[in-house]
Amino acid sequence: MKYLGNFKDWIQPELLERIVETQGDPTLLNQPLTWKGHPEHEAWYKTFCAAGYDKRNFYSNMYNQYTEDIKDFVITPPIDLGNKTWDWWFIKFLPGSVACMHYDPHTKIYQTAKRYWMAMMDYHPGHVFVSEGGQMMTNYKAGDLWTWDQADLIHGVVNLSMIPRVTFQFSTHETDDAYHKPKFYIDHNLD
């Protein structure tokens, strides 16, 4: 992870409060359709099922541009992204919520994908965010922003604390980075 600085002033307190108090889009960890169409995805989903995650009802609460609960807020990038295309989402992990070790599937689609992670709350013991190589993020402050060393970094989250955990995530890719997506699917005979 490369630290890019603290952007606490970017955080809208009313937005954070809205996220904490609403459900957003409860999103199941088990999403079989997301992991179809590419051998790497399918191999990952096979291990996911073998570990029994497909039989659990883990979910997190997602908030993006289509989420009713936050539609009245305007979200702009906290840093200058130039002409790159960006996708953003907030995630709330309630106590006991789990996202097992995974890579973000969209990062395999765009060759120029870059991933960013911002804390919306100060670190709290039990807010566990780990990445491959036995790394854990601790002692961060609300507004701290990092970019990942590689967009498809294996990572996972569990909230073992007694309070919710909210983060802001975004990904960028070059606007003309389109060839990779069709190739990704054509190679595997899908639409």
Partner 1 sequence: MKYIGNYIDQIPAGLIDAVLNNDGEITPVYQPEKWSGKPEWDAARIALENAGYPKLDYHFHQYTENTECIKPFLDQIDFKFNLPDLPPVHHWWIVKYMGGDMQPMHFDPHVIDTQDCQRYTMMLTDFEDGHIFVYDDVLLNNYKAGDLFLWPDAMCLHGAANISMNPRISLQMSFYNEISR
Binding footprint of partner 1 on the chain (CB under 8 A): 47-48, 50-53, 56, 58, 94-96, 98-101, 123, 125-126, 128, 130-136, 138-139, 154, 156-158, 160-163
- In whole angstroms, how close is the CB of 94 to partner 1 at the nearest point? 7
- In whole angstroms, how close is the CB of 164 to partner 1 at the nearest point? 9
Name the residue nearer to partner 1 (CB basis): 15 or 137. 137
Name the residue nearer to partner 1 (CB basis): 56 or 188. 56
Residue 162: how many other CB atoms lie within 10 Å: 10
Name the residue nearer to partner 1 (CB basis): 124 or 180. 124
E strands, 29-164, where? 59-63, 85-93, 98-102, 114-119, 127-131, 135-136, 144-147, 155-159
CA pair distance 185, 32, nearest whole angstrom: 17
**Beta-sheet pairing, 59-63 with 25-28:** antiparallel
CA pair distance 151, 104, nearest whole angstrom: 8
Name the residue nearer to partner 1 (CB basis): 82 or 125. 125
- In whole angstroms, how close is the CB of 29 to partner 1 at the nearest point? 9
CA pair distance 128, 21, nearest whole angstrom: 21
CA pair distance 49, 64, nearest whole angstrom: 27
Name the residue nearer to partner 1 (CB basis): 109 or 151. 151
Q: Which two tokens stand for residue 138?
A: 């601790």
Residue 52 identity:
G
CA pair distance 173, 17, nearest whole angstrom: 30
Task: Reduce the DSSP state of residue 186 to 3 states and report it.
Answer: helix
- In whole angstroms, how close is the CB of 82 to partner 1 at the nearest point? 33
- In whole angstroms, how close is the CB of 52 to partner 1 at the nearest point? 5
